[in-house]
Amino acid sequence: MLHDDTISESQEDQDFYLEHDQFVIDKQRPVPRAHLSRRATVALWALRVFVVAVSAMVIYTFVTQIAH
C-alpha cells in the first residue's frame, strides 16, 4: 500500500521539513509494548468494569424513560 503512495524522484529532491520520526514510514513502526505491573493491570480492569457497569445503568435508565 505504501509503495503506491511514494512520490517521484524529482519531488524527493526537494527539501523536507519533517523531523526524523515524522515520516509516514517512521510513524508506522510500532512502539514497544509497555510493561504494566500487576497492580496497574488490576486497577485498569477494575476501572473498566466500573465504567461498563455505570454505562449499563445509564443506558437502562434511558431505555426505561423512553418506554414510559
Which residue ranges make up the site for another protein (CB under 8 A)?
Answer: 1-7, 11-12, 14-34, 36, 44, 47-48, 50-51, 54-55, 57-62, 64-66
Shortest separation between residue 42's beta carbon and another protein, angstroms = 13
Cell output for 9: 524522484
List Cβ neighbours of 26 (8 Å cut-off, separation of 6 or more): 20
DSSP state of 3: G
Choose between 33 and 38: whose C-beta lies nearer to another protein.
Answer: 33
Shortest separation between residue 50's beta carbon and another protein, angstroms = 7
Shortest separation between residue 12's beta carbon and another protein, angstroms = 6
Look-up: residue for cell 477494575? 46
